[in-house]
Amino acid sequence: MQMNMRDRIYLSTLEDDHIYHFMELSADPELVATEGWSPFQKNEKDRFLEWFHVITVPYLQDGQTKVFSVIKSDDLKAIGFTSLKGMHDESRKAELGIAIMEKDCRGQGYGTEALDLTAKHAFKDFGLKMLGLTVFPANKRAVRAYEKVGFQGKELLKDSWLLPDGNRVDMLLMELTCDRWVDLRE
């Protein structure tokens, strides 16, 4: 099910073939380092799907989750995913997550486009007022992409993420309001 067309990408419903494709790519060392996960095995679909429900923004709990595949328009290839987690009608806030799983598609602006499309859905279609996310501060490419869309750094969350090796690391909390997103596009 196609949700929104863009020049180079669109967002689509996450399908089983996308899930298994993404799981195959999950051992990429860059993804392990930037996502903070243990690679997913072929029989770990449930663990992969649980990943979409992990909320790292401190003021969000539970709530609805929506997951989208990022599809290249030219060859219809699923190259990654975005998610909105912890959505509540009352707070009108959510956590945005993203991963560009295809190595050859990283660093080409697809992530920034996917972030912008997901923010558009969040604000226009779901009526949200604010998006938050966390990112490893050392992931400069992701921080730049978030800033291009309008996210601003708010707080360094000390020792807030538990890595698969048992070490705790800091995360940078970033936020984007609907008003700021709209203002930056006018």
Q: Write the DSSP string, 28-51.
A: -HHHHHHH--PPPPTT-HHHHHHH
Asked if 121 and 95 count as a contact pair (C-beta separation under 8 A), the reply is no
Segment 17-72, tens digit of pLDDT: 999 999 999 999 999 988 989 999 999 999 999 989 888 898 888 899 999 999 99
Rounded to whole angstroms, the Cα distance separating 63 from 87 reads 5
- Residue 173: the pLDDT is 97
**Global confidence as pTM:** 0.92
Place of tokens 């790519």: 25
Segment 76-106, tens digit of pLDDT: 999 999 999 999 888 999 999 999 999 999 9
- Residue 76: the pLDDT is 95
Domains of the chain: 2-185 (3.40.630.30)
What are the angstrom distances between the C-alpha of 139 and each of 10, 34, 52? 24, 7, 20
Segment 146-181, tens digit of pLDDT: 999 999 999 999 999 888 888 899 999 999 999 999
Top-confidence residue, 2 or 20: 20
Provide mean pLDDT across the span 129-143.
95
- Residue 88: the pLDDT is 83
